[in-house]
Chain A
Amino acid sequence: MADTTTPSRGFTLFPRLSGAAVAGILIAIFLMAFLVLPVAQVIYVAFLDARTGVFTLQNFQDFFNTTLFRESFANSFYVSAMSVVLATLIALPLAYITTRFNFAGTAAIQALGIIPLIMPPFVGAVAMSLLFGRNGSINLLLNQHFGFRIPFMEGLNGVILVQSIHYFPFILINLSASLRNIDRSMEEAAQNLGSHGIRMFRRIVFPLAMPGYLAGAALVFIKVFDDLGTPLLLNVNNMLAPQAYLRITGVGINDPMGYVISFILVAFSVFSLWASFLFMRGKDYATVQKGGGGLSRRDLKPREKWLAWGVILLILAMVLSPHIGLLLLAFGTIWSFSPLPDGFTLQHFGTIFTQSSQYVWNTLIYAGSAAVIDVILGTAIAYIVIRTGLPGRKWLDYMATAALAVPGVVLGIGYLRMFHGIQLPFGLGQMSSFWGIIIVALAVRRLPYALRACMAALQQVSLSLEEAAESLGASRSSTIRRIVVPLMTGGILAGFVTSFATAAVELSATIMLVGRSSDAPLAYGIYLYMQSPAGRGPGAALGILAVVIVALGSYLSQRIIERERARQAMTADRP
């Protein structure tokens, strides 16, 4: 890290190390202002008496004395836990089939692991109630032919069904990865000592896959616990996140209950992450040896093969149902009390392009700007953390990553509270309702994704490449500009696309920050349309657009990552 300035290079305003330090300080200020302080403020207000401003636990007492809040708390917990259970029931057979057997349907299962993620759960929620609701297609047919209905979507059931179908891939991906990381000898040693079959799976294989399963399950739990969009669209209001939203938007910014709920949401997120971290510590069970394969796979017997295909097709049908429902809704004319829409039309797309194109443009601008901010911050933080000796640099990483544990509702409430009443110059109005603040919220929420991509990219750039440039006389800033950033392009691009695609369908923070409907993004537009039966068609058409954006984004980032990997593999021979 010696500062060997070459005098011949152009002037620099700051000495090199200061350049990184200045960037670090600016990023720290940004994260303090738009993440740490708003969240801290929310937590702080939860402990203040609304009228006198003194410290109190009264708000929590009020919260637990109110039947509705107690019920919401129990419901949120119940829905999250049941979603984990249902998601496990879906993911476990899929993970087991792909890792233990030679099975032709493995590609179908891999697709199963991606399809749900490209549709934000709240988009599919309404379509799901048209398919599975009390008077939805399935129940109409059941009632017609068998004379009974199944309450798939009644109240909390609906939230559980929609969430578990959307989030089971987190368990599938983590569980399959852990199963694949178990060395064959682990299983062979057990067989050698006299164990086999289900008993061996229970005693050896599943315990070894446990860390992966728990990581996935904790993620599902938190995501469901924090989610606002799905319960709102299914009109289930007696859960925590909807209550927080309704209190703040209905009762007002000073109502302490919104803050108490926010505190509970954050505390639960942090607690779940901390608990899973504690459990996982020292339990890296990845045991695959060099040259050794994962668990041995065997061929399926014909009857087992039919069974496997049956399970997969059933799950596939479930997983695709929001997509199918959304398509029917978007292209259908009237769809009510009948298994299928009465007719098909392109009219809804016409409606949204003539009336609602501002949603699309707003989304492109918001998500695009947020993603640009994310990759700039992500690249800078990655460089500071990995390549400089700046004191406290790890905290930049911790702060940025902490955004993962902050539910969108909480960030939204924090912004409302903090920027309420701050007048912006140039006639931009109040800061808390200024459209720019939506961009900042999106950028903060998606920064962890972009940061991870940038970190990974920088870690693959060998330090010797930079040293070579410096030994040839390039200054630090010139090395970053001409060597480091170009080599990180793939990772930065992947980070941009991921941030963009997920920001484009973000609802929970934006729903609180949208000042006027003309400033609203796609997700908010879908929410508005879906409020009325007449708006469902255009809402679904907007939903299709959202799915296309996310699918294209996921596909692009996948392509970029694969291309990078191929490029890395070509140059990986060097140490």
Chain B
Amino acid sequence: MTLTKAGIRIEDLHLSFGETKVLEGIDMVIEPGEFFAFLGPSGSGKSTLLRAIAGFGPTPRGRILIGDRDIAALPPWKRNVGMVFQSYALWPHMSVRRNVAFGLEERRMPAREIGPRVEQALETVGLLHLADRMPAQLSGGQQQRVALARTIAIEPQVLLLDEPLSNLDAALRVQMRRELLALQRKLGLTTIFVTHDQEEANTTSDRMAVLDRGVIQQIGTPQQLYDHPENAFVAGFLGTANILKGAMQGADFVTEAGQRLPVAPAAAPAAAPAADVNRIVLRPQNIRIAASGGDIMGTVAHREFLGSQIRYLVDTPDGQIIVDTLHSSGPPPYDEGAAVSLSIDSQSAPLLAD
């Protein structure tokens, strides 16, 4: 199955439900063949944006281009955009085969071509042997694959996945996200994946856009966003982060409580001058904990055993700081109440100016 690769360009998109603004000034470019994720908490507008690309919901203001074609004014049935729904939306009164054939029949394709296309699509998702079952006779994972087959059968220019893993149990979720990625690589189909789960976004997507309250917070590869967040929301939403307030003094960052922390020049935000820097992001695993000799003094308030890691909550003059240390064996070195000293890794402590 060969599909035409098409990029997506969204320009200055605004959308509101009545008086409520749901999306504001969305601009993004998704490359042909890219696996792109929309990541954000519920209510961030990520699903609304996806539905706007598919043509559902209120008509947005702005442009949505697929390839060179502006589709913003087209009805859903003329967009050739394939969408897999969160609920899968398999029609319960049709067999798997008829579900998959539906889109082709609507395109008035001759019946002798529909059969092979349906079988090929089911083959791709590995469900050809279940073609004559009814949807209610399938497991959640199988229904998901049928929904995928139904969508790729029409050979859409773009594949949209709306929280596709949220209805599966944890073990199946990990397996399905690998299969999804493998399928996307095989088809080379430009794909947008909506999720609120950072792990899903990190493990599957080439690049992602983090959304909050209808605004894009940052776009980049998962690692870029984790290592170089541009604001506190992105820093906090991707992984655990200690965010301390303060300001630059020379080459050092000085916290509100007066602790002086050395930072690397590369840590500063590219767009903002040093005078605007007001926060530092400290990842728990990038802080070293010792009995003495560090940058920040504190007391262990609480200790949690997480298996591969031990997490300390350390009370410091700048508030409570979370520190993770690797655990191999033996008793943990610091008890609750112990005086400790924390030192930071200057290479991996990004600065924020927001």
The answer on a CB contact under 8 Å between B77 and A194 is yes
Q: Is B136 touching A189 in the complex (CB atoms < 8 A)?
A: no
B102 touches A289 (CB 8 A): no
Secondary structure at chain A's binding surface: helix, strand, loop or mixed? Answer: helix
Instruction: Find out whether the CB atom of B102 lies under 8 angstroms from the CB atom of A193.
Output: yes
Is B305 on the interface with A (CB-CB < 8 A)?
no
Binary contact track A174-189/B, C-beta < 8 Å → 1, others 0 = 0000000001011011
Report whether A195 and B77 are in contact in the complex, using a CB–CB cutoff of 8 Å.
yes
Contact pattern, A 191-204, Cβ under 8 Å of B = 1, otherwise 0: 11111100100011
A residues 203-230 near B (Cβ < 8 Å) are 203-204, 207-208, 210
B103 touches A193 (CB 8 A): yes
The answer to whether B102 touches A210 (Cβ under 8 A) is: no
- Pick from A192, A207, A282 the residue with the most CB of B within 10 Å: A192
B92 pairs with A287, CB closer than 8 A? yes
**Nearest CB in chain A to that of B102: its residue:** A193
Name the B residues within 8 Å of A283 (CB-CB). Answer: 92-93
Q: Is the CB of B91 within 8 A of A191?
A: no
The yes or no answer to A190 lying at the interface (CB within 8 A) is yes
A193 in contact with B106 (CB, 8 Å) = yes
What separation, in Å, do the CA atoms of A285 and B134 have in the docked complex?
12
| B112 interface residue per 8 A CB criterion | no
Chain B residues with Cβ under 8 A from A183's Cβ? 87, 89
Chain A residues with CB under 8 Å of B87's CB are 183, 185, 287, 289, 292
- Which of B56, B86, B93, B151 lies at the interface centre, i.e. has the most chain A CB atoms within 10 A of its CB? B93
* A288 and chain B: residue at smallest CB distance: B87
Task: Looking at the assembled complex, report how far the CB atom of B342 sits from the nearest CB atom of chain A, in whole angstroms.
Answer: 43
Q: How many A-B residue pairs have CB under 8 A?
A: 79
Residue of B nearest to A290 (CB): B87
Cα distance, A199 to B77, chains bound together (Å): 12
Q: How far is the CA of A162 from the CA of B32 in the complex (A)?
A: 65
The answer to whether A192 and B102 touch across the interface, beta carbons within 8 angstroms, is no
Interchain CB contact under 8 A, A185 and B89: yes
Query: In the docked arrangement, what's the CA distance between A291 and B313, Å?
Result: 37
Cβ contact within 8 Å between B81 and A195: no
The answer to whether A193 touches B154 (Cβ under 8 A) is yes
Whether A191 touches B93, Cβ cut-off 8 Å, given contacts A185-B85, A185-B87, is no
Distance from B40 Cβ to chain A, minimum over Cβ atoms (Å): 17
Chain A proximity of B156: nearest CB distance (Å): 9
A189–B93 contact, CB under 8 A? no
User: B297 on the interface (CB 8 Å rule)?
Assistant: no
Task: Say yes or no: is B107 at the interface (Cβ < 8 Å to chain A).
Answer: yes
**Residues of chain B within 8 A of A203, CB atoms compared:** 102
Whether B222 sits at the interface, judged by CB under 8 Å, is no
Whether B83 lies near A194 (C-beta < 8 A) is no
Encode B70-114 as 1/0 by CB contact (under 8 A) with A.
000001111111110111011111000000001100110000000
Q: For residue B107, which residue of chain A has the nearest CB? A: A194
Measured in the bound complex, the distance between the Cα atoms of B88 and A292 in whole Å is 13
Which residues does chain B contribute within 8 Å of A189, judged by CB atoms? 83, 85, 89-91, 150
User: B20 to nearest A CB, angstroms?
Assistant: 16
Residue in chain B with minimal CB distance to A186: B89
> Among the listed A188, A194, A199, A207, which residue makes an inter-chain contact with B85, where contact means beta carbons less than 8 Å apart?
A188
A203-B93 Cα distance, complex, nearest whole Å:
10
**Taking each of A194, A195, A208, A282, which has the highest tally of chain B beta carbons within 10 Å of its own beta carbon?**
A194
By a CB distance below 8 angstroms, the chain A residues around B80 are 194
- B55 interface residue (CB < 8 Å to A): yes
Minimum CB–CB distance for A226 against chain B, Å: 31
A277 to B128, CA, bound (A): 32
Tell me, in angstroms, the Cα distance from A505 to B84 when the chains sit together.
54
A208: which of B54, B79, B91 is its contact (CB, 8 Å)?
B91
Per the CB 8 Å criterion, the residue count for chain A at the interface is 24
Residue of B nearest to A188 (CB): B56
Evaluate contact between B82 and A194: CB separation under 8 angstroms: no
Q: Which of A188, A210, A283 has the most CB of B within 10 A?
A: A188
Contact in complex: B102, A195 (CB < 8 Å): yes
- A398, B91: Cα distance in complex, Å: 33
CA of A191 to CA of B102, assembled, Å: 11
B78, B83, B92, B150: which has the most chain A beta carbons within 10 Å? Answer: B92
- The reply to whether A193 and B150 form a contact with Cβ atoms under 8 Å apart is yes
Cβ A188 vs Cβ B89 within 8 A: yes
CA distance A210 to B87 in the complex (A): 21
Which residues of B lie under 8 Å from residue A188 when comparing CB positions?
Answer: 54, 56, 76, 83, 85, 89
- Are B82 and A192 closer than 8 Å at their CB atoms? yes
Determine if B89 and A191 form an interchain contact, defined as CB atoms under 8 angstroms apart.
no
Contact A208 B93 (CB under 8 A): yes
In Å, the complex CA distance between A192 and B85 comes to 10
User: In the docked arrangement, what's the CA distance between A193 and B114, Å?
Assistant: 14
**How far does the alpha carbon of A370 sit from the alpha carbon of B56 in the complex, in Å?**
55
Report the bound CA distance from A196 to B107 in whole Å.
12
A288 nearest CB across to chain B (Å) = 9
Q: Which residues on A sit within 8 Å (CB–CB) of B89?
A: 183, 185-186, 188-189, 287
Measured between beta carbons, the chain B residues less than 8 angstroms from A186 are 89, 91
Could you tell me the distance between the alpha carbons of A186 and B102 in the complex, rounded to whole angstroms?
Answer: 12
Given the complex, which residues of B lie within 8 Å of A204, measured CB to CB? 91
Query: Distance in Å from the Cβ of B57 to the closest Cβ of chain A?
Result: 9
Q: Mark B141-169, 1 if CB is under 8 A from A, else 0.
A: 00000000011001000000000000000
Q: How far is the CA of A183 from the CA of B167 in the complex (A)?
A: 16
Specify which chain B residues have a CB less than 8 angstroms from the CB of A191 in the assembled complex. 55-56, 75-77
Flag B235-261 by CB within 8 Å of A: 1 or 0 each.
Answer: 000000000000000000000000000
Q: Is the CB of B77 within 8 A of A196?
A: yes
A190 to B83, CA, bound (A): 10
Which residues does chain B contribute within 8 Å of A208, judged by CB atoms?
91-93
Q: How distant is the Cα of A119 from the Cα of B318 in the complex, in angstroms?
A: 77
Interface centre among A189, A207, A210 (most CB of B within 10 A): A189
* Whole-angstrom CA separation of A193 from B79 in the bound complex: 9
Q: Is the CB of A285 within 8 A of B93?
A: yes
With known contacts A185-B87, A292-B87, A192–B92 Cβ distance under 8 A: no
Q: When the two chains form their complex, are residues A195 and B106 in contact, meaning their CB atoms are under 8 A apart?
A: yes
A185 nearest CB across to chain B (Å): 4
Q: A188-B89, A192-B55, A195-B103 are in contact. List 20 more A-B contacts (CB 8 A).
A: A183-B87, A188-B76, A188-B85, A189-B90, A190-B91, A190-B102, A191-B75, A191-B76, A191-B77, A192-B79, A192-B151, A193-B82, A193-B154, A194-B77, A195-B77, A196-B75, A196-B76, A203-B102, A210-B93, A285-B92
What are 14 residue pairs bridging A and B, where the CB atoms are less than 8 Å apart in the complex?
A183-B89, A185-B89, A188-B54, A188-B76, A191-B77, A192-B76, A192-B77, A192-B79, A192-B83, A193-B77, A193-B154, A194-B78, A207-B91, A287-B89
- Which 3 A/B pairs are nearest by Cβ-Cβ distance? A193-B103, A185-B89, A189-B89
